[in-house]
Amino acid sequence: MDTEAQHTERDLPSTPQPGPERGSRSARFPALSCRLEGPWRKAAALLAVCLLFLLLLSHFVVQPFLIPSGSMEPTLKVGDRVLVNKLAYRFGSQPARGDVVVFDGRGSFTDEAPEGNPVGRALRSAVAALGLTEPSGNVYVKRVVGVGGDRIVCCDKGGRVQVNGTPVTEEYVHPGDAPSKAPFDIVVPDGTLFVLGDHRSRSSDSRDHLGSPGGGMVPVDHVVGRVDWIGWPFGRWSGVGGSGAFARVPAPGGAHG
């Protein structure tokens, strides 16, 4: 009988003992936990520093910009990611005729107020600043055709735009497009720019806003920067630069510009 009692006692489950076995996996294997968490923390910190650096670089120096439409073809195509030089006009320089610029169109091209809540706008701006999505609908990319004081007339007998009385041969205009189908004769106010898209038949630009508040003229202080390079896709790596089309155009006062 003593033997049977001993067997019965052995078959009973042992009483769980307190200690690391009843805790989490991390508590049971503290060394393994440290090895897993340490590198991940360092990687997360490094990623945060890199993102912060890219955002600061984008905000102050060079900003990627995703081209959302064909209004600047053939110079810029849909899906191109260009690099906008934000220092180009920071030290006394001004936008020049022929420059391709990115600008905020509120007050000149649109009266739209920012949409959505502040947090959503901030997140969208941060993602757009990295060139991962297209910018808000208030941001545009166009070519400068006239600066403050210029008189711009369209068109002469040869179908060319005239700036300060000089016909301009715009080699960058999309093949098959006329410089403009709508005639105009305007003087650009000081401190503003007259801008057009290279794909004239598909571009909504200063021509379309001549009767709007601001007259379609872009204030110089609304310019984000100058498009200097195409950075993506790899097959389109190139500089953008200005244009020699305006080399013979005189300054508004008559001096050679």
Phi, psi at residue 69, to the nearest 5°? -145, 175
Based on the number of CB atoms within 10 Å of its own CB, is 223 exposed (0-12), middle (13-18) or buried (19 or more)?
A: buried
Copy the structure tokens of residue 18: 């307190």
Q: Would you mind telling me the total number of residues written for the chain in this entry?
A: 257
Catalytic residue among 71, 108, 180, 203: 71
Neighbours of 244 (CB within 10 A): 10
User: pTM value?
Assistant: 0.71
Copy the structure tokens of residue 104: 């905020």
The sheet with strand 161-163 has its strands ordered as 166-168, 161-163, 151-154, 184-187
How far is 136 from 49, CA to CA, in rounded Å?
A: 26
Eight-state DSSP code of residue 256: B
For residue 116, what are the contacts with CB-CB under 8 A and spacing of at least 6? Answer: 124
According to the model, what pLDDT value does residue 234 have? 87
Q: Chain-centre distance of CA 137, in angstroms?
A: 11
How far is 123 from 133, CA to CA, in rounded Å?
A: 11
**Of 136-140, 229-233, 238-242, 248-252, the least confident:** 136-140
> Are residues 206 and 218 in contact, defined by beta-carbon separation less than 8 angstroms?
yes
Tell me the pLDDT tens digit for each residue of 166-221. Answer: 999 999 999 999 999 989 999 999 999 999 999 999 999 999 988 877 889 999 99
Catalytic residue among 108, 142, 203, 206: 142
Give residue 4's pLDDT band: very low, low, confident or very high (50, 70, 90): very low
According to the model, what pLDDT value does residue 176 have? 94
**N- to C-terminal Cα distance for the chain?**
118
Least Cα distance to 150 among 11, 257, 224 occurs for: 257
Give residue 62's identity as a one-letter amino acid code: V
Helix or strand (DSSP H, E) at 178:
none
**Is there a catalytic annotation at residue 71?**
yes
Give residue 141's pLDDT band: very low, low, confident or very high (50, 70, 90): very high
> Are residues 54 and 107 in contact, defined by beta-carbon separation less than 8 angstroms?
no
For residue 58, what are the contacts with CB-CB under 8 A and spacing of at least 6? Answer: 64, 129, 130
According to the model, what pLDDT value does residue 76 have? 97
Q: Find which of 31-40, 56-65, 79-88, 133-142 is predicted with most confidence, using mean pLDDT.
A: 79-88
Give residue 114's pLDDT band: very low, low, confident or very high (50, 70, 90): low
User: Does residue 106 carry a pLDDT above 90?
Assistant: no
Helix or strand (DSSP H, E) at 27:
helix 25-28
